[in-house]
Amino acid sequence: MIIQLDHIEKTYGSGANKVPVLHDVNMQVEEGEYIAIMGPSGSGKSTLMNILGYLDTPTSGTYLFDGQDNARTGDARMARIRNQKIGFVFQSFHLMQRRRAWENVALPLMYGNVRRSERKRRAEEALCQVGLEDRISFYPNQLSGGQCQRVAIARAICTRPKLLLADEPTGALDSKAGQQIMDIFDELHAQGMTIVMITHEHAVAERAKRILYIYDGWLREEERV
Amino acid sequence: MLENFREAFDGIWSHKLRSALTMLGIIIGIASIIAISSTIMGTNEQIKQNLVGAGNNTVEVALYQGDYVLDPTYQQVPEYVRPLTEDILPDITKIKEVQDASLFYRRDAYGMIWYGSEGLNQGSIYGVDEHFLSVSGYVIRCGRSFLPEDFKTFKKVALIDRTVSETLFMGANPINKTIEISSEPYVVVGEFTQNTAFTPTITSINDYFTYTDHSGGKVLIPATTWPTLFAYDQPSSVMVRAGSTDEMTEAGKQTAAVLNGTLTGSGDVTYKSKDLLEQAKKLQELSNATNRQLIWIASISLLVGGIGVMNIMLVSVTERTPEIGLKKALGARKRKISAQFLTEAGVLTCIGGMLGVLVGIGLAYMVSRVSGVPIFISWYIVAATVVFSFVVGLFFGAVPAVQAARLNPIDALRRE
Ligand SMILES: Nc1ncnc2c1ncn2[C@@H]1O[C@H](COP(=O)(O)OP(=O)(O)OP(=O)(O)O)[C@@H](O)[C@H]1O
Ligand SMILES: [Mg+2]
């Protein structure tokens, strides 16, 4: 079991401005699973994802990641977990425009204190994995949207994380580029990576082995037939 | 670390105009500090050189009554002052700061020296030993110097300086002319002068009175002939040459101490050094006090510059919020983020500081051209101001850096 959520609640604000976003969320993810989370806009998908990714802490409930309860362990430890065990892919890529593709990929390795020479090698390896071996030294503005997202995926996987979190990875792409991204996810899944992906598109969600739905902060699972 | 510097340069370079404007305050502040301090130090150096002379480093140690040199022509020498002999010289040259020493007699030459009907109204007559010329840094301009026989055989020969030569001979060749010293005939064998043609830099009428030598001319005769003109037991003075200008004070003090050791009693007549360096320091103090105010004013512009840096760094944090969020999401710790912004602020002000140094040196040269005051650029001050501007950057970059580090990664990522 890599993820276990028990009675997770998340409320933003306080007093009169209280906004409850997640209600009693329970969820289990086995190692190597490939899960899609769907739901209408504003239903709390990103909020859930932030909690899973140690970018945010739940208001109440317990979250066991990789068998450990790391709730409220402080900035340094949370940064370390994000750095070493979790890979993020965002809808809008979030690449640094003044960095070459491989430098973007190597960024998390730098925070993980990997040696310089080793960083470049591993960044190139990750870029090969997403099929960008011929774009290693390109700048983001010299790449297409799909290629940018592939750089972002390479960045997420180059630390060899236990969990890959993707928030609408195809949201900003046309269907063909989106397809390529999904192919890469399939491949990563085949190699044993645990993937949790948020998406709006059914076609994309279909690729996952399991789909969870979230409505107004209530999580519901639908077994696939 | 390297990465921080790279990002800092990236950030500064990608907003060239903005960075340049931000640096302006720092540049102006540092430039004025450099310009002012260079001028101050130049002035100080000038004061010192004017008073001390260029590179002679000689200090005169003489008998003083209170604050004035005792002149046996007019004043009684107390019983406890024993005449000095050559035997004291080894004790003096033993002093670390003293390189060479010479014994001499001196008297006011008023009404004592004549050539025909031309007399010397001002000036001094010196009875000197063989070391005197070299210790004092005098060289023979024409004619010859004293020879060992001159001393041994009590030859009545004299050396004169330019002032005496002009007063007595009105430009005619003085060599081999016979002058009268206290009614004794002396043959002028040479004319001497300072070995460095040093003239004080005069920039005001005050300087003129402070620095110009009003002592009139100097006439030197062998010390061995002194007793025939004056008393046998006249006390002598000592001229010492210090190893360097900065050692002059110490050389003078130590020598005075040795000489005071020969006194057999105590009173208000003691050996003292005529300390030009000390005098220079007093004058410097005066000029420093006024200029120090200017430094304060310059510091205010540095403060304003620092606030400008803080302001621009805060803007930069806001601008780069998504980038900060991403870095945090990828595992950058708080201190990593704050280090990045601190480095950027520090590099920015450091570059500003270096540019300020260049501008300041340029300004100082301009001031020097216009006013004639020399400048003295101290590399120690240059280094200190650059370091200081870096510190200003760190100080004013601290608030933006902490603000950046505190950003919540989710909020930061959400903003596009
Ligand atoms: N910092 C916050 N303060 C208050 N409310 C917030 C905050 N962040 C999110 N919310 C609220 O939480 C709810 C869920 O937001 P979330 O971003 O998780 O939605 P989502 O499912 O990801 O939507 P989308 O599909 O549009 O991305 C929204 O109603 C939003 O207004
Ligand atoms: Mg969302």
* Pair (B82, B144) in one structural domain: yes
Is residue A91 within 6 Å of ligand 1 at its C-beta?
Answer: no
- B305 with B181, same domain: the answer is no
Same domain for B173 and B311, yes or no, is: no
Does residue B384 sit within a domain? yes
- Phi (first) and psi of residue A222, to 5 degrees: -120, 115
Regarding whether B313 and B232 lie in a shared domain, the answer is: no
Ligand nearest to the CA of A38: 1
Q: Which residues on chain A are in Cβ contact (under 8 Å) with B411?
A: none
Judge: B326–A96 Cβ closer than 8 Å, yes or no: yes
Residues B238 and B360 in one domain: no
Ligand 1 atom closest to Cα of residue A50: 18
Are B263 and B288 contained in the same domain?
Answer: no
Residues B314 and B206 in one domain: no
- In chain A, whose CA is at the least distance from the CA of B1? A110
**Cβ(B329)–Cβ(A55) under 8 Å?**
yes
pLDDT digit of tens for each residue in chain B (416 aa)? 778 888 888 888 888 898 999 899 899 989 988 888 888 888 777 777 776 664 567 888 888 888 788 877 777 788 888 888 888 888 888 888 888 888 888 888 888 888 888 888 888 899 998 888 888 888 888 899 999 988 888 889 999 988 888 888 888 888 998 998 888 899 999 998 876 655 556 666 666 555 555 556 889 999 888 888 887 667 788 888 888 777 888 888 888 888 888 888 888 888 888 766 666 677 777 777 767 777 788 788 888 889 999 999 999 999 999 999 999 999 999 999 999 999 999 999 999 999 999 999 999 999 888 877 788 888 888 998 999 999 999 999 999 999 999 998 888 888 65
Take residue A79 and report the two structure tokens written for it. 């940064």
According to the model, what pLDDT value does residue B90 have? 86
pLDDT of residue B64: 86
Ligand 1 binding pocket includes A10 (Cβ within 6 Å)? no
Evaluate whether ipTM surpasses 0.85: yes
Helix orientation angle between B379-406 and B16-52, rounded to the nearest 10 degrees = 150
Q: Tell me the average pLDDT of chain A.
A: 91
Residues B337 and A172: their CA atoms lie apart, in Å, by: 28
Pairing of strands A86-89, A68-69: unpaired
Residue A132 near residue A101, CB atoms below 8 Å = yes
- In angstroms, the separation between the Cα of residue B331 and the nearest Cα of chain A is 4
Residue A14 near ligand 1, beta carbon < 6 Å: no
B399 inside domain: yes
User: Which residue among A37, A38, A45 has the greatest number of ligand 1 atoms within 8 angstroms of its CB, and so is best to mutate?
Assistant: A45
Q: Check whether residue B86 and residue B137 sit in a common domain.
A: yes
Q: Are B132 and B273 in contact (CB under 8 A)?
A: no
At a CB cut-off of 8 Å and minimum separation 6, what does B209 contact? none
Q: Tell me, yes or no, whether B207 and B352 share the same domain.
A: no
Which stretches of chain A drop beneath a pLDDT of 70? 72, 223-225
Instruction: Extract the tokens encoding B385.
Output: 């101001």
| pLDDT tens digits, one per residue of A47-104 | 999 999 999 989 999 999 988 887 767 888 889 999 999 999 999 999 999 899 999 9
Residue-number span of the structural domain to which B215 is assigned: 67-267
The domain total for chain B is 2
Residue B388 domain-assigned (yes or no): yes
Same domain, B81 and B225: yes
Length of chain B as a residue count: 416
Closest CA to A171 of A111, A89, A106: A89
Are B71 and B44 part of one and the same domain?
Answer: no
Instruction: Using CB atoms, pick whichever of A88, A96, A111 lies closest to residue B323.
Output: A96
A13 CB within 6 A, ligand 1: yes
Q: Where are the beta strands (DSSP E) in B168-312?
A: 178-181, 184-194, 217-222, 237-242, 269-273
Q: Which of B203, B233, B267 is the last residue of a domain?
A: B267
Distance CA A144, CA A4 (A): 37
What is the pLDDT, as a whole number, of residue A225?
Answer: 45
**Chain B residues closer than 8 Å to A82 by CB:** 328-331
Q: In B88-147, which ranges are continuous DSSP H helix?
A: 89-93, 132-136
Same domain membership, residue B86 and residue B174: yes
**Rounded to whole angstroms, how far apart are CA atoms A201 and B252?**
96
Residue type, A172: A
Q: Is A41 in the pocket of ligand 1 (CB under 6 A)?
A: yes
Give pLDDT, residue A6.
93
Q: Cα of A215 to ligand 2 centre, how many Å?
A: 13
Q: Long-range contacts: A67-70, Cβ < 8 Å, 24+?
A: A67/A1
Give the residue, by CA position, lying nearest to ligand 1 atom 4: A12
Ligand 1 atom nearest the C-alpha of A40 is 25
Please state the domain count of chain A: 1
Residue B240 lies in a domain: yes
What atom in ligand 1 is closest to the CA of residue A17? 4
DSSP secondary-structure letter at A62? Answer: E
Residue B233 pLDDT: 67
- Say which CATH number the domain at A14 has: 3.40.50.300
What range does the domain containing A204 cover?
A: 3-222
Task: Give dist(CA B385, CA B36) in Å, integer.
Answer: 12
CA dist B115 and B112 (Å) reads 10
Q: What is the residue with the minimal CA distance to atom 26 of ligand 1?
A: A41
Residue B61 lies in a domain: no
